[in-house]
Structure 1
Amino acid sequence: MAKKSSLTKRASLNILGVIFALLWIFPIYWLLNSSFSTEDALNSRTPSFFPAPFTAQHFQSILADPAFFSALKMSFFTAILVVVVAIVFAFFAALALSRFRFIGRRGLILSVLVIQMVPAEALFISQYKMIDGWHLLNSILGLSILYIGASLPFTIWMLKGFVDGVPVELEESAQIDGCSRMGAFFRVTFPLLGSGIVASSIFSFLAAWNEYTLALVLLSSNDTKTLPLWLQGFSTQMAGTDWGGVMAGSTLMAIPVIILFVIVQKRMATGMVAGAVKG
């Protein structure tokens, strides 16, 4: 009886898991379905769960639009710059907070957490004036500076958890063998932070890749739009919303993220779990 009860419980949990998986994947399926559906099918009051007739017109029109590749370039270089700079600064900040004891350390750690609670919208005016004063409006550098500032606090906190998980005795042993303090950091600690760096990089990349409101404030030129701003162009007050274009554009936006996840999924999963239990 006990074995039968256990099998029944496992079967129930499996069914429940399948149901949740279907609920989770349905929006993605609907996105793809709408991307390959005709305008008549999308505007019909009767939903169609299969793209019949099938069309690739929405993708063809997007790939023939130079504005898409301009926005792709803007988003890609901005996200890469944010990831590289944020990880470098966050690594050294995490080392300092984890390995050194100095006056104001607790206050600095607390400020890292408090900054996360400030609504981004509350800073828009001051951020706009600052970037305008530096003559960096409508530029990758200006947008990246603000994205880096927004992602740094959480990235520092995440990496600090990973640094805390590396025994300080390993660095002390390296120093006894002749390494300097900095050499011990890079030769011993840094290689052990691979999972944490990958997880933090994914966070920074997604934050920059998907951000919309700050880009809307800083980027007013048609030649410097990011992908989320470019996607807004499929919706107009007079002509309505081109749902086929929106869905196809969203699919193309998701492809780089999916590729990135496939490449680093194992390290990212390990890193996210480890970062949650360390620190």
Structure 2
Amino acid sequence: MTKLGIHSFVWTGGSTAEALEGAMEKSHRLGYGLIEFPRLDPKKFDVAWLAKRLENYGLKVVVTMGLPPDADVSSEDAASVKRGEAILDDAVAITRDLGGSKLGGIIFSAHNKYRSLPTQKGWDNSVATLAKVADRAKSSGVSLNLELVNRFETNLLNTTAQGLAYIEQSGSDNIFLHLDTFHMNIEEADPAAAIRLAGDKLGYFHIGESNRGYLGSGVIDFTAAFDALHAIGYDDWMTFESFSSEVVDEDLSVTCAIWRNTWTDNVEVARLAKAFIEAKQGEAERKAIANRTP
């Protein structure tokens, strides 16, 4: 069975009850089994209400986020690191209360364009902080998943190899990798090899096109990616992520440079994405069966 999710920013840039309800209804109607929400401000919605609506729609949930510059756990400033740790603990609690089991995204640094290389002290601060948060999160049934993004969105972790080194240094068994085809297409020499390298440390997977739009309309080799996912036995959630200026979240639009309409019909892009992903998964499975040794 395909464990297929969709990012809420395909549907809405808002977090009002009405906006969240619409996002859940459309996700459910199109046959997605999970919805990904960015870090939600509990002051703007009722956590218990959202958890109940997710249950009513039969939707699983993943929460993702990026840390703000003044709460950068990869900073050398102790106050910033402390603020980041508190934000992460809060995000873990919200994920738990919504019934989720994964917190992902840029949780190891600020989500912005840096103007300098990371320092060893900054790296060590980030690793130590996430090790502590992961230990507490484990008791809540929530794992931490490091989204390896491109160089314009963090200076700390851009590749699978870096992410694995980070996890090893942390000593945690509750920190995993969150890979994304859009970012791997920029940073990895061989994205399919990077997926194989991740192996059982792959905890969450984003599927997005090189132009952030319709799957199959860019240059990403999805056939190789799905072959690699099948080869490592990945059977967890994979989530379609696509951004267009048709749906605006001010912070994300600036940070991720969403300056044009890659689509105008979000129902169409979501429907076609689901069909595309299921077809690619089917191809990978059929090839694997055909290539079995008699």
Structure with greater strand share of residues = 2
Please tell me the TM-score bracket, short chain as reference: under 0.3
TM-score (ref. length: structure 2): 0.22
Higher radius of gyration, 1 or 2: 1
- The TM-score normalised by the length of structure 1 is 0.23
Instruction: Report the structure, 1 or 2, having the larger helix content.
Output: 1
Q: Which has the higher contact order (CA 8 A, sep 6+)?
A: 1
